[in-house]
Chains A and B, each alone.
Chain A
């Protein structure tokens, strides 16, 4: 059965390759920091089990320090625009089909692992989507090699053209370099959630709300809960982290238990209010920073980049809509 430990080895190899290629990228003035950053992440994937909890903690601090110093911008060699146009003409729509191999495998693998015996033997049902996604990547690369049969070459030190079997790692490293430190922010935030939970932050926030806000009317309570969900999601970067805090503080004790709201409607719409916050925060790196990096937007390092600015009007309208919907639907 293919499970997470196998995937972690692949991830470790991938990040180690990223470290190697970014360290040799002469176009990046901060290539050593970049190499160090990805090498530490590779270490975490390959040998994190042996580092101990404190060792992993020190590793995280080192990652944060390197990211703060700056990883620089790489200029890894890839194909030229002309080569890409020629290749696009040669392969045509086959390229779309190969691109679809990844989500298709992720989907079928997940379904097979959860609903069939043979699938559960092949793929760990507990992490079916993640394992299937990685299998999809491997299938897609195999299809490229066997069906499209591209000639990948690179120019070596002596100027001769050589076959280059490492292209997937090289190109993957190029794109991970584009994503940069934002690649590990979601993992960091998930870890912060664990620490905050252990320190009892949710209860404290509840006290804060009950002491300072008079939530006597349905409308005031619903507004406080929805806006609070959005606000804490902006801070924590994740509605899942904000939900237990705000629901324990206001949603459950006030909107549901004191004012008689329907718990299903209150929680479901409360979560969606949190998603409005996700659209507005740079802490939601996956959704707001990663695309800015991947799409090479010039304001990608600004706290409020153009992805967030583009989303903001829809986010504010939907937050208002959620308040009205909860007010109208939760007390039917």
Chain B
């Protein structure tokens, strides 16, 4: 019965409901389902709903540190107003070897390498991708191909976000003191299995190498596709 909450998550996905609403509903349904018995009366279920709502509220309050990171936008927004994105765009336009794929490949390697030594906060969508990486990638493409069609511009931006995510996910677990490694260690300890963080983190290296090869390869293909679709105009000039 307690799996009804999971069913709500699936159903919410299919119905394309707002994720916040899905999550709250899933929590309430899970609480109600756990309390439900064939003989349960309305009062018991109402109590269970109130108890679930209270425990969800308590958890939300305790976890509010998760949302503190948005304070970063006060500084990023101020720098944007001062022209940070425009500066990034012109700076990259002067580097003639720069292409979207090469730029993102370099960012991917840097992001993965810094994450692998624990420096995960050096990147991120609010701190790096929006103010710097995306304007640079667009600037590199503009310097090469001139004004970009919107569809291409959006595809480039999506690639910037993807490079940041993939490099982070498949870099951070190589570091021994990252949350996921500590979570695994704690979980195994509860089951009576003692592992050292290093024993865990070294198993992240093979996947990290595959991720690097696969994604940099895809960025190279993306460059070729840009050249194929936009390069014609350049030749005509």
**A residues bordering B, Cβ < 8 Å?**
4, 7-8, 10-11, 14, 41, 44-45, 48-49, 51-61, 63-65, 67-68, 78-79, 81, 83-93, 95-96, 98-99, 102-103, 106-107, 110, 127, 129-130, 133-134, 136-137, 140-141, 144, 148, 150, 152, 167-172, 174-176, 179, 181-196, 198-201, 204-205, 208, 235-237, 239-240, 243-244, 247, 252, 256, 263-265, 267-269, 271-272, 275, 278-279, 282-283, 285-288, 290-292, 294-298, 303, 305-307, 309-311, 313-314, 317-318, 321-322, 325, 329
Would you call A129 and B121 a contact (CB within 8 A)? yes
Chain A residues contacting B157 (CB-CB under 8 Å) are 295-297
Residue B160 interfacial (CB < 8 Å): yes
Give the residues from 98 to 157 in chain B that come closer than 8 angstroms, CB to CB, to chain A. Answer: 119, 121-122, 125-127, 129-132, 134, 150, 154-155, 157
Query: Is B67 touching A186 in the complex (CB atoms < 8 A)?
Result: yes
Contacts of B74 in A (CB 8 A): 14, 137, 141, 168-169, 171-172
The total of Cβ contacts below 8 Å across the A-B interface reads 410
- Kindly state the separation between the CA atoms of A316 and B85 in the bound complex, as whole angstroms: 33
CB distance A4 to B71 under 8 Å? no
Q: Which of B31, B70, B162, B181 is within 8 Å of A14, CB to CB?
A: B70
Q: If A150-B82, A183-B67 touch, does A195 touch B77 (CB 8 Å cutoff)?
A: no
- Contacts A99-B131, A239-B180 given; does A267 touch B57 at CB 8 Å: no
Determine whether the beta carbon of A269 is less than 8 Å from that of B72: no
Q: What residues of chain A lie closer than 8 Å to B30, measured between beta carbons? A: 195-196, 199, 201
Task: Give 23 CB contacts A-B under 8 Å.
Answer: A11-B64, A44-B64, A60-B60, A65-B21, A78-B81, A84-B82, A84-B83, A87-B82, A88-B83, A93-B87, A129-B121, A137-B71, A172-B76, A187-B66, A191-B56, A201-B3, A252-B191, A263-B195, A265-B203, A294-B130, A295-B161, A314-B218, A318-B170
A306 B155 Cβ-Cβ under 8 A: yes
Given A240-B183, A243-B183, A14-B21 contact (CB < 8 Å): no
Q: Is the pair B24, A60 in contact by a Cβ cutoff of 8 Å?
A: yes
Evaluate contact between B87 and A45: CB separation under 8 angstroms. Answer: no
In the complex, the answer to whether A172 meets B73 with C-beta atoms within 8 Å is: yes
* A198: nearest chain-B partner, CB-CB: B55
With A54-B54, A321-B207: A141-B71 Cβ-Cβ less than 8 Å: no
| C-alpha spacing A332/B73, complex, angstroms | 48
Q: Is B37 positioned at the interface, with any CB of A under 8 Å from its CB?
A: no
A267-B188 in contact given A87-B82, A295-B129 (Cβ < 8 Å) = yes
> B84 on the interface (CB 8 Å rule)?
yes
B9 nearest in chain A by CB position: A235
B226 at the interface (CB under 8 A from A): no
State the Cβ distance, B132 to closest chain A Cβ, in Å.
7
Q: In the complex, A283 Cα to B56 Cα: how many Å?
A: 18
Q: Is B230 an interface residue (CB 8 A)?
A: no
Please tell me which one of the listed residues A91, A95, A243, A269 contacts residue B187 in the complex, with CB atoms under 8 A apart. Answer: A243
Measured as residues with beta carbon below 8 angstroms from the partner, the interface class of chain B is 35 or more
Interface of B is mostly: helix
Q: Identify which of A130, A199, A329 contacts B206 (C-beta below 8 A).
A: A329
Min distance, Cβ A69 to any Cβ of chain B, angstroms: 9
Residues of A within 8 A of B70 (CB): 11, 14, 172, 176, 179, 183
Of all chain A residues, which has the CB nearest B129? A291
Tell me which residues across on chain A come within 8 A of B91, comparing CB atoms.
93, 96
Interface presence of B46 (CB below 8 A):
no
Tell me, rounded to whole Å, the shortest Cβ–Cβ distance linking A241 to chain B: 10
* CA distance in complex: A305, B129 (Å): 17
Given known contacts A56-B57, A263-B193, A321-B210, A85 and B86 CB-to-CB distance under 8 angstroms: yes
Q: Given A129-B121, A184-B20, A195-B56, is A275 in contact with B170 using a C-beta cutoff of 8 Å?
A: yes
Closest A residue to B169 by beta carbon equals A275
CA distance A81 to B83 in the complex (A): 8
Q: What is the bound-complex CA distance between A133 and B204, given in angstroms?
A: 27
Question: Residue of A at shortest CB range from B160?
Answer: A295
A171 contact set on B, CB distance < 8 A:
73-74, 76-78, 80-81
**B2 within 8 Å of A (CB atoms):** yes
Contact partner of A285 (CB less than 8 A), chosen from B19, B34, B76, B200, is B19
